[in-house]
């Protein structure tokens, strides 16, 4: 028999050799930790569908922020669960609302050791659970919502946020937010546009984490999972309106979209490793069906390999410690 002239296995012979020729890395600085704070909580509240993740008190939030910064995590994405909700999400723009208080507390605690980011959307704050205000007949009013988003962006900037993450998928949201921030003198606050956010079943555990009031769905504003070219249009619109970064959400089911976006743009590209993706791995590992540690790194590496400069993941701190 003949023997192969080319032997790719030579580059896989030892751990040191594999490290030497590895094409993709997951540096801690590329990871962003999504983190929840619950208004009025006396102690952290575990989220049953997301093992290991909690709704924080303000005290535990500050401690978790410091731990993340010390681990080398690149950023924190803050989400808040308010005590009271109403039709227009008043708590989102209240300087004393839980999200703006959390921004101030975390910004004061970590300074510039990591990047303080915040979700910019109304869904956690509305009693109907939609990402915008509603018309009298119950439809999401795109343009009225843009006004609320602009006010919310300014409130977050005044609280000390460095990056806003508008996730509502309203048409024109980046332009409205950029204009509001600039007019208020917050020209240094960046916008991470959730440009390609799909109407995904993998958001399920997140809805529990933020105690969502949503009945129905968000199919009229989040993208159809069947579409990919549509994402490129959304990305182009957001960049034209002044987005500093763009994001694909979810990550694992949309790695093809992530690659297309990375190849098309010259700004940082983020991907959100969402709650359902996290919980699937945790559930399978709890049953002993997969090697949890290897699976986590494989998931994060796949997202980076597909083109993400930044990965939002609930494993951020754990992974950063291991990777360091």
Q: Supply the residues annotated as catalytic.
A: 197, 249
Q: Are strands 45-46 and 54-56 parallel, antiparallel or unpaired?
A: antiparallel
Centroid of chain to Cα 171: 19
Strand spans (E) along 110-231: 115-120, 163-166, 190-197
CA distances from 94 to 16, 91, 192 (A): 54, 5, 22
Question: Could you tell me if 252 and 225 are in contact, meaning their C-beta atoms sit under 8 angstroms apart?
Answer: no
- Using CB atoms within 10 Å of the CB of residue 230, give its burial: 0 to 12 exposed, 13 to 18 middle, 19+ buried: middle
**Helix, strand, coil abundance in the chain, percent, nearest 5:** 45, 20, 40
Q: CB neighbours of 226 closer than 8 A, spacing ≥ 6?
A: none
**Nearest 10 degrees: Cα torsion 155, 112, 242, 134:** -30
Q: Which residue from 261, 132, 146 is spatially nearest to 196, judged by alpha carbons? A: 261
Alpha carbon distance, N-terminus to C-terminus of the chain: 46
Please work out, in degrees rounded to the nearest 5, the angle formed at the alpha carbon of residue 279 by the alpha carbons of 50 and 211: 40
CA distances from 42 to 47, 91, 117, 217 (A): 15, 20, 24, 32
Q: CB neighbours of 301 closer than 8 A, spacing ≥ 6?
A: 24, 26
């Amino acid at each position: 028999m003949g023997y192969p002239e080319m032997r790719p296995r030579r580059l896989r012979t030892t751990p040191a050799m594999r490290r030497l020729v590895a094409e993709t890395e997951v540096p801690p600085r590329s990871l962003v930790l999504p983190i929840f704070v619950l208004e009025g909580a006396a102690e952290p509240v575990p989220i049953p569908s997301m093992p290991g993740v909690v709704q924080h008190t303000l005290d535990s939030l500050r401690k978790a922020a410091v731990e993340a910064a010390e681990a080398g995590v690149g950023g924190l994405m803050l989400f808040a669960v308010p005590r009271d909700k109403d039709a227009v999400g008043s708590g989102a723009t209240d300087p004393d609302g839980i999200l703006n208080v959390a921004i101030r507390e975390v910004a004061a605690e970590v300074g510039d050791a990591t990047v303080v980011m915040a979700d910019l959307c109304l869904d956690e704050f509305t009693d109907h659970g939609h990402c915008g205000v509603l018309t009298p007949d119950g439809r999401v009013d795109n343009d009225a919502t843009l006004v609320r988003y602009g006010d919310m962006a300014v409130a977050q900037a005044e609280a000390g946020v460095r990056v806003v993450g508008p996730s509502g998928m309203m048409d024109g949201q980046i332009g409205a937010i950029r204009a509001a921030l600039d007019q208020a003198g917050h020209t240094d606050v960046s916008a991470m546009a959730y440009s390609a956010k799909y109407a995904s079943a993998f958001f399920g555990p997140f809805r529990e984490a933020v105690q969502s009031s949503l009945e129905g769905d968000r199919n009229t504003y989040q993208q159809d999972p069947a579409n990919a070219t549509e994402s490129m249009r959304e990305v182009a619109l957001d960049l034209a309106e002044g987005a500093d970064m763009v994001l694909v959400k979810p990550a694992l089911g949309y790695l093809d979209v992530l690659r297309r976006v990375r190849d098309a743009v010259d700004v940082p590209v983020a991907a959100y490793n969402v709650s359902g993706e996290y919980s699937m791995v945790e559930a399978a590992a709890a049953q002993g069906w997969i090697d949890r540690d290897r699976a986590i790194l494989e998931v994060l590496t796949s997202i980076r390999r597909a083109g993400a400069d930044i990965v939002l993941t609930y494993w951020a701190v754990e992974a950063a410690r291991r990777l360091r």
